[in-house]
């Protein structure tokens, strides 16, 4: 069954269906798409797809989910920016299991099997309109390109995007926009955003240690507030502050506002150092800014002498 897919959504109700794809991020969070036996679902920017993406970096035909003799499968359709299943990039068709998450640019879907009865909540994607915004940028990219050439720089960006998108999927963020070496991501939870930022820095550090000839050095900024949502994009002061924080973040650094520090439980927040003297361009009344870093794993202790 190609073409637009019938979907059903209810508020605080239960729906018994054969199988569902549930949007867990994006503009229609909570919307469900019913999967019938023999169904084929295509995902992409083209209006001919079953699920149409509004994200500019998505391909016209980005991913496909289909029923193969009673087993639902998922595959990426050879796209540049990829499709993730449970945070890992798809390189070949894979079987979907109950609870799996499929992430494409701007949208995450959860696969729910026919044996489950689910509660789907529609509304403003949470108890309030407050969102947390993450901006990430590569550091030293222009200098690296001039020194090593376009091919090496392209490979660096590919690795950087792989790292960032894996962490976005793991922490259930939504990729709003990607331009060059910059990411704009939105979260329903400040704690999720902090986990994503620290995960990106840990993964980038590990990658750079393993491949020093292809370093991934990232600066990240986080802020939260109530945005204006317009045609799938987020606008407003909270977004601008997060972007300015990212611009000020050094390689390997995560800068957060005092708003983020207040929203995240102390047990989930690593030590924060006040960063004074920062200028946030265009922000007349900037928040207090803190730098946080992923905890450094303790070095293994030496074995006792024989």
Handedness of CA 263, 250, 104, 269 (dihedral sign): negative
Rounded to whole angstroms, the Cα distance separating 263 from 133 reads 13
Q: Name the pLDDT band for 31 (thresholds 50, 70, 90).
A: confident
- Per residue in 246-273, pLDDT tens? 999 999 999 999 999 999 988 888 889 9
Give me the pLDDT at residue 299, please.
45
- Per residue in 36-53, pLDDT tens? 788 899 999 988 888 888
- Per residue in 58-105, pLDDT tens? 899 999 999 988 889 999 999 988 999 988 899 999 999 888 889 998
Mean pLDDT of the region 100-120: 71
Rounded to whole angstroms, the Cα distance separating 82 from 91 reads 9
Give percent of the chain above pLDDT 90. 42
User: pTM value?
Assistant: 0.59
Give me the pLDDT at residue 26, please.
66
Give 57-119 as a DSSP string: TS-SS-EEEEEETTEEEEEE-S-SS--EETTEE-SS-EE--TT-EEEETTEEEEEE-TT-EEE
């Amino acid at each position: 069954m190609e073409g637009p897919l019938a979907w059903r959504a209810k508020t605080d109700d239960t729906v018994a269906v054969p199988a569902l794809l549930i949007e867990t991020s994006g503009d229609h969070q909570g919307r469900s798409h019913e999967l019938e036996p023999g169904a084929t679902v295509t995902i992409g920017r083209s209006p001919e797809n079953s699920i149409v993406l509004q994200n500019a970096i998505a391909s016209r035909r980005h991913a496909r989910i289909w029923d193969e003799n009673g087993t639902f499968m998922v595959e990426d359709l050879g796209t540049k920016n990829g499709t993730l299943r449970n945070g890992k990039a798809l390189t070949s068709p894979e079987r979907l299991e109950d609870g799996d998450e499929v992430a494409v640019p701007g949208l995450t879907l959860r696969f729910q099997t026919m044996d489950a009865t689910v509660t789907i909540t529609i509304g403003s994607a949470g108890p309030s309109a407050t969102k947390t915004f993450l901006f990430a940028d590569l550091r030293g990219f222009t200098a690296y390109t001039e020194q090593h050439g376009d091919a090496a720089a392209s490979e660096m960006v590919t690795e950087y995007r792989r790292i960032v998108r894996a962490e976005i999927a793991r922490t259930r963020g939504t990729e709003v926009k990607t331009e060059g070496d910059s990411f704009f991501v939105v979260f329903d939870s400040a704690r999720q955003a902090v986990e994503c930022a620290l995960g990106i820095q840990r993964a980038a550090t590990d990658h750079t240690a393993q491949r020093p000839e292809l370093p991934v050095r990232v600066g990240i900024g986080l802020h939260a507030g109530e945005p204006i949502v317009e045609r799938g994009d987020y606008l407003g002061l909270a977004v601008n502050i997060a972007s300015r924080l990212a611009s000020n973040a050094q390689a390997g650094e995560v800068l957060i506002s005092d708003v983020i520090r207040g929203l995240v439980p102390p047990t989930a927040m690593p030590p924060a150092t006040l960063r004074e003297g920062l200028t946030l361009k265009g922000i007349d009344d900037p928040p207090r800014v803190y730098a946080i870093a992923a905890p450094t794993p303790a070095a293994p202790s030496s074995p006792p002498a024989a």
